[in-house]
Structure 1
Amino acid sequence: MKLKTKLIVSGILTASMAAGSAYAAVSEQEAAKLGGSLTPIGAEKAGNGGEIPAWDGGLQQVPAGYEGDGIYVNPFPDEQEQFRIDQSNVDQYADKLSPGQVKMIKKYDDYFIPVYPTHRTSAYPQEIYNETRENATQTELVPSGNGMENYTDGVPFPVPQNGLEAIWNHITRYRGGSVSRNVGQVTPTADGNYSVVHFQDELTWRAALQDFDPEEDQNVLFYFKQAITGPARLAGNVLLVHETINQVTEPRRAWVYNAGQRRVRRAPQVAYDGPGTAADGMRTSDNFDMYNGAPDRYNWELVGKKEMYIPYNSYELVDRDLDYDQIIKAGHINQALTRYELHRVWHVRATLKEGERHIYAQRDFYIDEDSWQATVIDHYDGRGELWRVAEAHSMYFYDQKVPWYAIETLYDTLSGRYLALGLTNEEENPYEFGTQRHSREYTPAALRRAGTR
């Protein structure tokens, strides 16, 4: 998926650069640490002398029993829970949890965090490492921070100098080049009743298109299409997104096809705190994939790095022997099926800029150092009260060298409701990587062909 030219925000970037210098890339001396004391994408290679081991290349062997069909088996089936964090001992471990995780434990008697041995399974293809090394000394943010220059693939800022660079690492992280998936989303009521919305998602990076032209759509990072396949009242509705790099000067291009009206229309609301698709008000557009979209409404602070118990290697949650009733419970998912490990995370704090509007006034991100995936995010309302807690129950797609997640959850600590997205246990053909797509398949004209009723 290597780009044959640099991704540059054309025209607009030139104007932005005229206003001042771009954020500087790191020195060759700093970049030389990649693959040495740092992993090829910028994590600390060494362990902590205790629970966190040294990174040794990630999980290199595909586990026995995996048939290459997108149904992933647990590489650690015999490991047992070491201990759990619950209401009886949460204060003892609070320094290794987010405030949101602590609040969930204190709110629910049956909410706990089961801790397992730490495995640093995440890895990426060698080409991503090569591109990351190149990015380290060349990729820069434009003065506004809402665009990049000289970025190809890989991690743009493996040695982040500020919070915004760390967030761009999450936004641009490698997810396989081109992938199709069938997943479920639920938004249970406070007493646990739910119905499933079924999605067929397609995600294709621009450079992975079969007819990739480096001179066209240079401000597009990837194309995303999401069709609702059930329930019947929603089936046939389709969302199409062209994800732009600089979304302030060229906003995200989004269209929806409404099957009932048999009509395609622009969808500017698919951004920021616009409502998430079929989410019953339980997530914003920029809650999808933990966080996405233009970062311009916030100030970003790189608080630092810390050790934290985060969801990791969550293969139990994709077990085909489970049905959704075994996972979805009142107030939260079944924590007995989850797995948490001690890992190092980057803590990034986003605070709403003066004069800007968003339902979240502050967001605290905890980003896994080995994958650059946001793994826990605490969301605060306009009063400064902790409101929603997001967790990415991550897993490593070992045959594709793609760290991603089994499901993502977003808990509303005030209403007692939540959203769980990415469920695959009851879905056919959950993941297919390396799908072949052409640019014509991601046009508004193609939406009506994709939509059915």
Structure 2
Amino acid sequence: MNKPQRPLGANTFTLATTFATTLAVSLLLASPAAQAAVSADEAAQLKGRLTPLGAEKAGNKDNSIPAWTGGLTQAPAGYKNGSPRPDPFAGEKPTLTINAKNMAAHAERLSDGVQALMKKYPDFSIEVYPSHRSAAAPQWVYDNTLRNATRAKTIEGGYGVEGAYGGIPFPIPKDGYEAIWNQRLAWRGGNFSMPMRVWVVTGDGQRSMASGGVQTIRQAYYDPAGSLEKFDGYYQYGKLVVDAPGSKAGEAILALDGVSDAAPRGLWQYLVGQRRVRKAPSVAYDTPDSVTSGIGLFDEAFTLFGPIDKHELKLVGKKELYIPYNNNRAANAKVDELVTPHTLNPAQVRWELHRVWEVEATLASGKRHVIPKRRYYLDEDSWQIVLFDGWDAKGQLWHTNYSLMLTAPDIPAVTNVVMWGGYDLQTGAYYLNMSSNELPRQYEVKPTIPRSFFSPEALSNEGSR
């Protein structure tokens, strides 16, 4: 959807109107719709000062954030695809614990949401470990990122993109729209599936399983056999088939997401009670997410799901922040050990200091959303959202969301589409989604999944079994 442009005014040909027209055209050229790709000279930084995906290669001044040296790219000996991945840093101990008592001394490196949790729950803390820049991608993704840098541009007021394929579209971003497209088109391993469970915890600390099933995603944008010329505009296909609890077994959701209006979003849902597939346009924006028993919103799924055109996006800049990272240990923990009353168990969650891009989303003129303001934090090495906070119409912090970031050197990648969730700071409820804890399989890379698997007809067959 295009952002509305300000009219140029009356047609009276005067010096004043000429100036106004010139100013309006200048503003239009500076808008996301007219954002040009970077020059070849700028793109050359991806082979020197910057990593191949656009992060700062150097560490910070005191080396508490180390230099990027290529990430983790070797699978552990004997590792088999889809098996739970071991913790690559199992022998390390926390170097710092931050809680309500000492958070003021570390406030500049804490998100508002993390500080709010510390204030609300005195026993909540974060355990900070040595930082490891483990994010990596295959060389062909790096090569495509370099090509994208000089050819990709945003369109449709920033809500669409063209000229990008097979890599980060804007490794040297100029605005918030480009940064968010980097998140949408981040490298997570191409195609995957995994069994998953959704755990919800009520304000009084009672835990239950809200949903369980199998999630399958095809990142068509990262088909190594594809190309920009062959790309049809649909960057991702996703299917969730629910198998638990019994009252929900058989339900299914299918989503097709595109990079522009030329590839319109498709959403279908299979409900057992209706025994038919129907289009589900309401599975978007601020509709309560049924998969999380309504604690989260649909556009909070996977840290960002579906259109975001109700908000305008501003690139605030880069900062150092404590974020969840390299959380393979949490992925292998027992549910009782991880999903505890009020918050995830601090002893199971690993936090590290990393540089992040901060993007602020504010409600666009004439739009409605129950969360009119959000602040996203994107990991500079992978471009994936790790934390984000949301404020209500009264300006009160309401939702704080997270991804624990799984490290998969066998791919190689780090990914934020497993072990993500959110806290409702007003009710005290929270949830953990895409959890494979205590399940035999984990995030499993798949070969190219046929397009026919992601059709409404296939959805009907899956749901009615």
Contact 2:331/2:406 (8 A) holds in 1: no
| Residue type at the aligned position of 2:139 | Q
Aligned equivalent of 1:229:
243
Cα deviation for residue 207 of structure 1 reads 5.4
Root-mean-square deviation over aligned CA pairs:
2.1
SS of corresponding position for 1:288: helix
Aligned counterparts, 1:76-91, within 5 A: 76-91=89-104
Cα distance in structure 2, aligned partners of 1:117 and 1:256: 43
Q: Do the aligned partners of residues 264 and 169 (structure 1) sit closer, same or farther apart at CA in structure 2, a change above 3 Å counting?
A: same
Match of 1:444?
A: 456
Partner of residue 363 from structure 2, selected from 352, 357, 366? 352
Q: Which residue pairs with 2:442 in the alignment?
A: 430
Alignment partner, residue 110 of structure 1: 123
Which of 190, 194, 200 is residue 214 of structure 2 equivalent to? 200
Question: Quick check: 1:39–1:45 contact (8 Å CA) kept in 2?
Answer: yes
Question: Which protein has the larger Cα radius of gyration, Structure 1 or Structure 2?
Answer: 2
Gaps of 5+ in 2: 2-27
Q: Which moved more, 1:211-220 or 1:342-351?
A: 211-220
State how 1:18-417 maps to structure 2 within 5 Å. 22-50=34-62, 51-64=64-77, 66-196=79-209, 197-206=211-220, 218-246=232-260, 251-319=264-332, 322-405=333-416, 406-417=418-429
Report the CA distance between 1:121 and its aligned residue. 0.4
Task: Give the superposition deviation at 1:153.
Answer: 1.4
Identity %: 38
Give the CA deviation at 1:229: 1.1
Which protein is richer in helix relative to its size?
A: 2
Q: Which residue number corresponds to residue 3 of structure 1?
A: none
> Partner amino acid for 2:247?
R
The one-letter code matched in structure 2 to 1:312 is Y
Aligned partner of residue 198 in structure 1, secondary structure: strand
**CA deviations over 1:336-360 (Å, ceiling 9, x no partner):** 1011111000011000012101111
Distance 1:64 1:44, change over 3 A: same
- Once the two structures are TM-superposed, the CA of residue 214 in structure 1 deviates from its matched residue by 8.1
Following the alignment from structure 1 to structure 2, what is the Cα–Cα distance between the partners of residues 324 and 173? 29
User: In structure 2, what residue type is equivalent to 1:358?
Assistant: H
Deviates more, 1:279-288 or 1:230-239: 279-288
Relative to structure 1, is the Cα distance of residues 105 and 59 closer, same or farther in structure 2, using a 3 angstrom cutoff? same
Distance 1:443 1:33 in 2: 42
Counterpart residue identity of residue 270, structure 1: V
Q: Show structure 1 runs of 5+ residues with no match.
A: 1-8, 10-18
TM norm structure 1 = 0.91
After superposing the two structures, state which structure 1 stretch, 387-396 or 210-219, moved more.
Answer: 210-219
- The whole-number CA distance in structure 2 between the counterparts of 1:229 and 1:78 is 37
Q: Aligned AA for 2:253?
A: L
User: For residues 422 and 345 of structure 1, do their structure 2 counterparts lie closer, same or farther at Cα, with a shift above 3 Å needed?
Assistant: same
SS at match of 2:45: coil
Deviation digits for residues 177-228 of structure 1 (CA, Å, limit 9, x no counterpart): 2111111111211122222221201101235679979888823111110011
Q: Secondary structure at the match of 2:313?
A: strand
**Conserved 8 A contact 1:135-1:150:** yes
Letter in 1 for 2:438: E
Aligned residues between the structures: 433
For 2:317 and 2:271, locate their aligned partners in 1 and report how far apart those are by CA, in whole Å: 44
Q: Which secondary structure does the structure 2 equivalent of 1:138 belong to?
A: coil
Distance 1:214 1:57, change over 3 A: closer
* Paired position in structure 1 for 2:14: none
Q: Which letter does structure 2 place at the counterpart of 1:395?
A: L
CA distance in 2, matches of 1:250, 1:270: 18
Q: Contact 2:312 / 2:362 at 8 angstroms: preserved in 1?
A: yes
The alpha carbon displacement at 1:430 in A equals 2.2
Q: Distance in 2 between matches of 1:140 and 1:173?
A: 16
Q: Which range is displaced more, 273-282 or 223-232?
A: 273-282
Residue 44 of structure 1: CA displacement? 0.1
Deviation at 1:409, TM superposition (A): 2.3
Local SS of the residue matching 1:33: helix
CA contact (8 A) 2:162 2:259 kept: no
CA shift in 2, pair 1:348/1:444, >3 Å: same
CA distance in 2, matches of 1:32, 1:211: 26
Q: 1:452 to 1:216 in 2, by over 3 A?
A: farther
Q: Which amino acid in 1 is paired with 2:313? A: W
The offset of 1:250, in angstroms, is: 5.7
State the shift of 1:98 in Å.
0.8
For 1:90 and 1:399, the matched residues in 2 are separated by: 36
Q: TM-score, normalised by structure 2?
A: 0.89
